[in-house]
């Protein structure tokens, strides 16, 4: 598959400089097509050929995420994302403030390239499956002025307000309507790593709102095959459509028959949130 | 009255949603912007209730709305009453640059909440000076 | 009898006058501190923008509007989209000129604002009580709660007093005592009636318990004033 990389244009921050360095490295050593964000913004047609049927990696330097926002604005599908500041934080690395890449910064570039390679070797390209149809029928629980929707069939829930929908040996997970209403407007989503192997109730992502934080605890065990990268720039999708576009991760199941024993169907989950709603402060 | 570059006055309209801290941030940002000369304030509820004076004020004005959440009550209500929204600010978008901040509550802002309110006010005043 | 009546409160939150700020703060105070089990706040901008959940609640439940001024935006909006209101309060009328020093912004808040919020919230709470009593109930008691949250979410500890030999916790009693001391209420036997009148706004007191509470509160207030 054709691959392309677009770094942000961060000229005034060390992270932006390293984003560019990583993109250059990937172009030189792995043959990725390099996309200039400024040219793309001014003349999108210039990159029609490079982006057609390509798997695009976006590399942002800082949480402003200019490159990701540009891709979203232009409606360009993004297969993967890398945020240099997050990578530095995770690695415990201080790249300094110099706008010339130094040894520490280049080591971080090495590490980021290695992580991308590891993801590719896992045989997972992070593409979500397309056969998880959104629910059409709901049960509702009403408390005061709040109405909480629960898909009537096809979804199972854990006590931590996370849902799972299973198709064959694959599953999609997310948080319930009750969870997103309790959090109010979600401002951050941090995905888990593609390829991660998780046990039931392990974390597969985290959410943050002005009111609270929430770890998304997987209702099932398995290997993460895709994460919803759209949520990184648009976490509000979880509020708008928690059972559809707000999905969190997809997984290859390991032992769903055992996991099922600890999950709740729609009716049971409805009863659970009736009790929770009475206690929650809205 | 603050006329901008095309002779129209600027009116700042926050949503003032009562349920979340973002509503209070929107409100305080509007106060700060107006105090620094960024525009006049207008009660959203007064506008929607059809108050003649409020409706006439927005008729020839450029409105800057500040919404606390993606429900966009200020934008919707201003447009529904015939106003022109020149700039729509969503507090949620600003909050994406303040991860982990303790903002406060629906009735009392913490330091970080005040910082966000002032950031929005500065954005409004900067926008206002650009169109002069 | 345990209360199940829920009363919706719609505040104008008008930005141009201090009364709008007072209406907002007083409404939150009632919701979070004074009548947490019986009230639900309805967001007026969301209500006016067409949110069906907010409008439906106001249709099905008794609703109080709290307007800052006599433009009555909250009352008019509620009547237009949901139906008649159960009570309509106007802050400027409640304060009757006492709000001249109040501020619109929280950064300029003073003791005048605090006083105004207390006065208005007491009136809102009374209106809630009247509605709930009309349903044959009394408002939910916070006897089991050691603390409740103030409007700013700061935990407000309860104070225990002895009423006819029984230990009773009244949330926020210390704050109530402080407030009454600031208004000049003397720490002697003459204060019983005022104490009873103020505390029953926050804590349900049955008619047959009034004498016992009056005695207990007077004693507690005297002791509190000696210590502070």
Mean pLDDT value of segment C198-218: 87
Looking at the DSSP bridge assignments, the partners of residue B75 are: none
C191 vs C158, more confident: C191
Model confidence pLDDT, tens digit, residues A117-148: 876 655 444 667 666 888 889 999 998 889 99
In the predicted model, is pLDDT for residue B5 greater than 80? no
Residues of A in contact with B22 (CB under 8 A): 185, 210
Out of C29, C49, C152, the one facing B73 most closely (by C-beta) is: C49
- Quick: pLDDT tens for A237-262: 999 999 999 999 999 999 999 999 99
pLDDT digit string, tens, across residues B26-70 = 999 999 999 988 789 999 888 888 889 999 999 889 999 999 988
* Per-residue model confidence (pLDDT) at position B59: 87
Show me where the domains of chain B are located: 9-126
Residue in this structure with the two tokens 């409404």, named with its chain if needed:
C27
The average confidence (pLDDT) of chain C is 84
A144 touches chain C (CB under 8 A): yes
Which chain A residues touch B if contact means CB-CB below 8 Å? 63-64, 184-185, 187-188, 208, 210-211, 236, 239-240, 282
Residue C151 CB coordination number (10 Å): 23
Asked whether the beta carbons of residue C152 and residue B105 sit closer than 8 angstroms, the reply is yes
Domains of chain A, by residue range, sit at 2-121, 138-279
Residues of C with CB below 8 A from B45's CB?
Answer: 12-14, 44-45, 48, 73-74, 77
Q: Quick: pLDDT tens for A195-234.
A: 888 999 999 999 998 888 899 999 999 999 999 989 998 9
Please list the alpha-helical segments (H only) found in B3-110: 21-35, 44-48, 52-59, 73-80, 91-95
Domain-wise residue ranges, chain C = 7-134, 147-227
Backbone dihedral angles phi then psi of residue A167, each to the nearest 5 degrees: -130, 110
B69 touches chain A (CB under 8 A): yes
From chain A, pick out residues whose CB is under 8 angstroms from the CB of C43: none
CB spacing of B20 vs A236 below 8 angstroms: no
Residue C85 pLDDT greater than 90, yes or no: yes
Nearest residue to A226 via CA among A177, A186, A179, A173: A173
CA distance A135 to chain C (A): 21
Residues of C in Cβ contact (< 8 Å) with B108: 106, 151-153
What secondary structure does DSSP assign to A74-138, as a single string?
Answer: TT---SEEEEHHHHHHHHT----S-SS--HHHHHHHHHHHHHHHHHHHTT---PPPS--PPP--E
Segment B64-92 shows an average pLDDT of 91
Contact of A5 with A33, CB cutoff 8 Å:
yes
State what percent of residues in chain B have pLDDT above 70: 91
Alpha-carbon distance of B51 to C150, in angstroms, equals 34
**How far apart (Å, rounded) are the C-alpha atoms in residues C64 and C91?**
13
> Which pLDDT does position C3 carry in this prediction?
53
How far apart CA A215 and CA A206 sit, in angstroms, is: 4
Single pTM value for the model: 0.68
B90 in Cβ contact with B2 (< 8 Å): no
Report which DSSP code applies to A29: H
Residue C99's pLDDT is 64
Q: Which two tokens stand for residue A100?
A: 């010339």
A102, A96 Cβ separation under 8 angstroms: yes
Q: What is the DSSP letter of C16?
A: S
| CATH fold group of domain A138-279 | OB fold (Dihydrolipoamide Acetyltransferase, E2P) (2.40.50)
pLDDT tens track for A160-209: 999 999 988 899 999 999 999 999 999 999 999 888 889 999 999 999 98
Whole-number Å distance between alpha carbons of C76 and C115:
27
What backbone torsions phi and psi does residue A131 show, to the nearest 5 degrees? -105, 30
At residue C180 the predicted structure's pLDDT band, cuts being 50, 70 and 90, is confident
Question: Could C15 and B41 be called an inter-chain contact, meaning their C-beta atoms sit closer than 8 Å?
Answer: yes
């Amino acid at each position: 598959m054709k691959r392309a990389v677009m770094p942000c244009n961060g000229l005034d921050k060390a992270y932006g400089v390293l984003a560019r360095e990583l993109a250059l490295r990937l172009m030189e050593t792995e043959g990725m097509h390099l996309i200039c964000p400024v040219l793309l913004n001014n003349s999108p047609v210039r990159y029609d050929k490079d982006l057609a049927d390509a798997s695009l990696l976006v590399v942002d330097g800082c949480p402003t995420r200019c490159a990701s926002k540009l891709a979203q604005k232009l409606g360009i599908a993004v297969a993967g994302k890398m945020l240099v500041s997050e990578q530095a934080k995770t690695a415990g690395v201080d790249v300094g403030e110099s706008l010339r890449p130094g040894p520490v910064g280049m080591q971080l570039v090495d590490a980021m390239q290695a992580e991308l390679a590891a993801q590719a070797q896992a045989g997972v390209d992070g593409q979500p499956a397309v056969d998880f149809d959104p629910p059409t029928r709901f049960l509702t629980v009403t408390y005061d002025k709040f109405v909480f929707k629960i898909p009537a069939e096809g979804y199972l829930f854990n006590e931590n307000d996370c849902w799972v929908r299973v198709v064959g040996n694959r599953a999609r997970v997310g948080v319930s309507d009750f969870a997103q209403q309790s959090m109010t407007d979600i401002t951050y989503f941090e995905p888990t790593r593609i390829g991660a192997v998780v046990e039931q109730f392990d974390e597969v992502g985290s959410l943050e709102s002005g009111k609270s934080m929430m770890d998304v605890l997987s209702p099932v065990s398995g290997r993460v095959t895709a994460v919803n990268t759209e949520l990184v720039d648009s976490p509000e999708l979880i509020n708008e459509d928690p059972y559809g576009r707000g999905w969190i991760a997809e997984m290859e199941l390991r032992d769903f028959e055992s996991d099922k024993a600890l999950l709740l169907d729609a009716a049971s989950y409805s009863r659970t949130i009736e009790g929770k709603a009475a206690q929650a402060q809205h | 009255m603050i006329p901008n570059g095309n002779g129209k006055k600027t009116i700042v309209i926050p949503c003032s949603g009562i349920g979340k801290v973002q509503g209070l941030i929107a409100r305080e940002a509007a106060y700060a912007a107006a105090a620094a000369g960024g525009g006049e304030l207008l009660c959203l509820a007064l506008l929607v209730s059809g108050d003649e004076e409020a409706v006439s004020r927005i008729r020839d004005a450029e409105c800057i709305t500040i919404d606390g959440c993606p429900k966009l009550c200020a934008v919707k209500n201003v447009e529904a009453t015939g106003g022109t929204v020149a700039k729509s600010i969503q507090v949620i978008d600003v909050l994406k640059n303040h991860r982990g901040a303790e903002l406060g509550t629906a009735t009392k802002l913490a330091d970080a909440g005040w910082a966000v309110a002032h950031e929005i006010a500065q954005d409004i005043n900067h926008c206002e000076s650009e169109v002069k | 009898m345990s209360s199940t009546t829920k009363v919706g409160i719609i505040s104008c939150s008008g930005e141009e006058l201090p009364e709008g700020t007072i209406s907002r703060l007083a409404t939150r105070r009632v919701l979070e501190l004074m009548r947490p089990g019986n009230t639900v706040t309805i967001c007026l901008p969301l209500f006016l923008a067409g949110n069906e959940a907010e409008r439906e609640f106001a249709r099905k439940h008794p609703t109080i509007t709290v307007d800052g001024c006599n433009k009555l935006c909250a009352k008019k909006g509620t009547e237009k989209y949901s139906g008649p209101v159960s009570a309509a309060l106007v802050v400027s009328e409640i304060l009757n000129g006492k709000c001249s020093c109040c501020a619109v912004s929280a950064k300029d808040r003073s003791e005048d604002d605090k006083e105004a919020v207390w006065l208005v919230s007491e009136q809102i709470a009374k209106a809630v009580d009247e509605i709930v009593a009309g349903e044959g109930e009394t408002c939910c008691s916070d006897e089991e709660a050691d603390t409740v949250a103030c409007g700013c979410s700061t935990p407000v500890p309860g104070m225990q007093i002895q009423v006819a030999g029984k230990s009773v916790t009244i949330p926020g009693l210390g704050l109530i005592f402080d407030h009454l001391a600031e208004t000049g209420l003397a720490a002697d036997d003459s204060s019983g009636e005022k104490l009873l009148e103020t505390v029953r706004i926050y804590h349900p007191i049955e008619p047959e318990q009034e004498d016992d509470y009056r005695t207990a509160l007077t004693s507690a207030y005297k002791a509190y004033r000696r210590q502070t």
